[in-house]
Chain A
Amino acid sequence: EIVLTQSPGTLSLSPGDRATLSCRASQSVYNNYLAWYRQKPGQAPRLLIYPASNRATGTPDRFSGSGSGTDFTLTISRLEPEDFAVYYCQQHGSSPVTFGGGTKVEMK
């Protein structure tokens, strides 16, 4: 099973700041089948980036994904109020599908 470790656990930032979130896999993610989601309270996860560096339909261009193999990064160039939420990475290149523990981006 591929274990995804997200860091940091919490990011305390202000609107307009840049956010850098990390997702590290315990082994290489096949074909970089790595997704990033944003989840707001009471809502389902919403896909932002897949695979690894491609913005999903409707994802604002302030979101960018990078990385390959075992190290992946989600960058939010300028935080908007709606970006204060929890972010998860997820891989489905290998079975079982696994999720990271999440990074909470909170308002400072």
Chain B
Amino acid sequence: QLQLQESGPRLVKPSETLSLTCTVSGGSIGVNYCSWVRQPPGKEPEWIAHISYSGNTKTDYNPSLKSRVTISLDTSKNQFSLRLDSVTAADTAVYYCALIPSVWGQGTMVTVSS
């Protein structure tokens, strides 16, 4: 059974870059859509982006975040990553990696603060 685990800094300063990695265990990423989702405290989840690989890499981004987001995939390490540039306090949230809809990581709380 696939399991996902997020890793990365939990505190990021305003205007800097948030970087997270998701490690997949218990099987291969395969052709799954590897997604990042975030959830600000007390609010609903928000999809950020997804990436998949089946011969070539396909990415898709939430238009509201597209200008600041990069998603990447390393199939040799069974990992995918998120980069969010120029963060502000509004980017404070629990960040989840997921193989939507069925498999989710436990989430990691990232706070943007000086």
Q: Is A98 an interface residue (CB 8 A)?
A: yes
Contacts of A63 in B (CB 8 A): none
Contacting pair B100 A97 (CB below 8 A): yes
Chain A interface (Cβ < 8 Å from any Cβ of B): 1, 35, 37, 43-47, 50, 56, 88, 90, 92, 95-102
Contact B50 A97 (CB under 8 A): yes
In the bound complex, do residue B47 and residue A44 qualify as a contact, i.e. CB atoms below 8 Å apart? no
- B80 within 8 Å of A (CB atoms): no
Cα(A45)–Cα(B64), bound, Å: 22
Q: Which residue of B lies closest to A51 (CB)?
A: B101
A44:B101 contact, CB within 8 angstroms: no
8 A Cβ contacts from B48-75 to A = 50, 60-64
Measured CB to CB, the residues of B under 8 A from A are 33, 35, 44-47, 50, 60-64, 96, 98, 100-102, 104-107
Q: Please, which residue of chain A has its CB at the minimum distance from the CB of B62?
A: A96
CB < 8 Å: which of A46, A98, A100 contacts B47? A98
Given known pairs A35-B101, A101-B44, A102-B44, the reply for A95 and B60 (CB within 8 Å) is yes
Which residues of the other chain, B, contact A43 by a CB distance below 8 angstroms? Answer: 106
- Chain B residues near A96 (CB-CB < 8 A): 47, 60-64
Residue of A nearest to B97 (CB): A44
A56: chain B residues at CB < 8 Å are 102
